[in-house]
Amino acid sequence: MKPRPGASGVPAAPAERERAVRGLPKAELHRHIEGCVPTPTLIRLARKHGLELPTFDPAELDKVVKLKAPMACLDDVLRMFSIAQSVFVSLEAVEEIVCGMLDDARLQENIVLLEARYSPDFMLRGKDLGWQEVLELISRTLRRYEARHGLCGGIILIASRSYGLASAERTVEFAVRNKGLVAGFDFADSESAYPAALYRGLAARLAAAGIPLTVHSGEEGHYSMVADAIAELKPRRIGHGVRIADDPTGRLIGLVRAQGITIEANPWSNYLTHAVDSIERHPLPRYIKEGLRVSIGADDPAILDTDLNKEYLLATERMGLSLEDLRYANRCAVEGSFLPDEKKKDALRAVLAI
């Protein structure tokens, strides 16, 4: 007998709910490739390439590469990323990681549209690999996967703000030279130390080249930084955007709504990094109620021990979202995706069919 859904449209029984959430066709806009290296892959690649790891015992390694509770120390988290980064050592390794990420997205999470992002300067720093060959490999891997399995994919290049302006300039020029291979661009990390005004010229350069922009903004610091990012950089999307809800006048929410900006929400990530005190206090439900365009992402699934199934379960069990809300978030994700309309058609049909 088919269980009756609760008021939210989501089945009340946990096993049924999990199955229902898993089966939902999903669109994901905010996922870092460097955060998609599962522990067994880390171990396999480290062995193959003779790399050091803190331990080769999977259970012990899990403890140092996964953030399972709100972070106590930023250095521990940076170390997790640096361990994951250390295995991007060869084209074969990059291909294996990207294929694993796509398999997980399709088979475990039923993702039909995925924009995957990475920072060339972070991923490839200290490696004997060229930016161009890696971008071409990732692009080729996505196209091949798309042709075989129908998952619609795209690449967002990231400038890591904490690497300084010269790195951001180099990454923007790299994106412009390769605009046929990239779907969009992102400025990420350390927003407080690197204000939006610094990147005004680079954002204009991307806009002139026709490369759409998303910005990690409002994950930390003051909500006025999101207003600055919107004014200075004119992004079509904002990664995280948690602080937007802090504006007591509500004007910032009005601005985001008026500009049709899509918020790439990452609830579990925000909880682990203390951007919100608890999942229950995450502003995503308010954003939906206020009519903002929102999507739900997993950010760094392997490091944050999450995926879209977990994010959707949290959203329905602890944030009060309904099945209709999830459908809305997926529609916003596809509509806000930087991929061309003809590529998004099937994904839109899939996420609306639920």
- Which stretches of the chain bind Zn ion, using CB under 5 A? 299
Q: Which of residues 11 and 241 has its CB atom nearest to Zn ion in the complex?
A: 241
The residue whose Cβ lies closest to Zn ion is 299
Q: Which of residues 247 and 299 has its CB atom nearest to Zn ion in the complex?
A: 299
Burial class, 127, CB count within 10 angstroms (exposed 0-12 / middle 13-18 / buried 19+): middle
Residue 5 CB partners (closer than 8 Å, separation 6+): 11, 12, 323
Quote the least distance from Cβ 168 to Zn ion, whole Å: 16
Phi and psi of 100, rounded to 5°?
Answer: -65, -40
Half-sphere exposure of 6 (CA within 13 A, CB side): 15
Quote the least distance from Cβ 269 to Zn ion, whole Å: 7
Taking CB atoms within 8 Å and a gap of at least 24, the contacts of 252-257 are 252/223, 252/226, 252/227, 253/287, 253/290, 253/292, 255/227, 255/230, 256/226, 256/230, 256/292, 257/290, 257/291, 257/292
Quote the least distance from Cβ 345 to Zn ion, whole Å: 27
CA distance 334 to 262: 10
Q: Which of residues 17 and 30 has its CB atom nearest to Zn ion in the complex?
A: 30
Quote the least distance from Cβ 156 to Zn ion, whole Å: 10
Q: Which two tokens stand for residue 168?
A: 């951001």
Identify the DSSP state of 178: T
CA distance 138 to 99: 9
Q: Which of residues 53 and 299 has its CB atom nearest to Zn ion in the complex?
A: 299
Whether 67 contacts 304, CB under 8 Å: yes
Looking at this protein, which amino acid is placed at residue 268? W
Quote the least distance from Cβ 15 to Zn ion, whole Å: 31
Q: Which of residues 26 and 31 has its CB atom nearest to Zn ion in the complex?
A: 31
Quote the least distance from Cβ 33 to Zn ion, whole Å: 11
Q: Which of residues 55 and 192 has its CB atom nearest to Zn ion in the complex?
A: 192
CA distance 177 to 347: 28
Quote the least distance from Cβ 305 to Zn ion, whole Å: 15
Q: Which of residues 101 and 323 has its CB atom nearest to Zn ion in the complex?
A: 101
Quote the least distance from Cβ 240 to Zn ion, whole Å: 7
Quote the least distance from Cβ 280 to Zn ion, whole Å: 22
Whether 334 contacts 351, CB under 8 Å: yes
Q: Which of residues 275 and 332 has its CB atom nearest to Zn ion in the complex?
A: 275
Q: Which residues pair with 32 in a beta bridge?
A: 117
Q: Which two tokens stand for residue 311?
A: 């994010």
Identify the DSSP state of 318: T
Quote the least distance from Cβ 266 to Zn ion, whole Å: 7
Q: Tell me which residue has tokens 């996420």.
A: 351
CA distance 119 to 185: 10
Whether 6 contacts 28, CB under 8 Å: no
Q: Which of residues 121 and 299 has its CB atom nearest to Zn ion in the complex?
A: 299
Q: Which of residues 28 and 299 has its CB atom nearest to Zn ion in the complex?
A: 299
CA distance 297 to 282: 14
Which residue stretches of 195-307 are H helix?
A: 200-208, 224-233, 251-258, 267-272, 284-289, 301-304
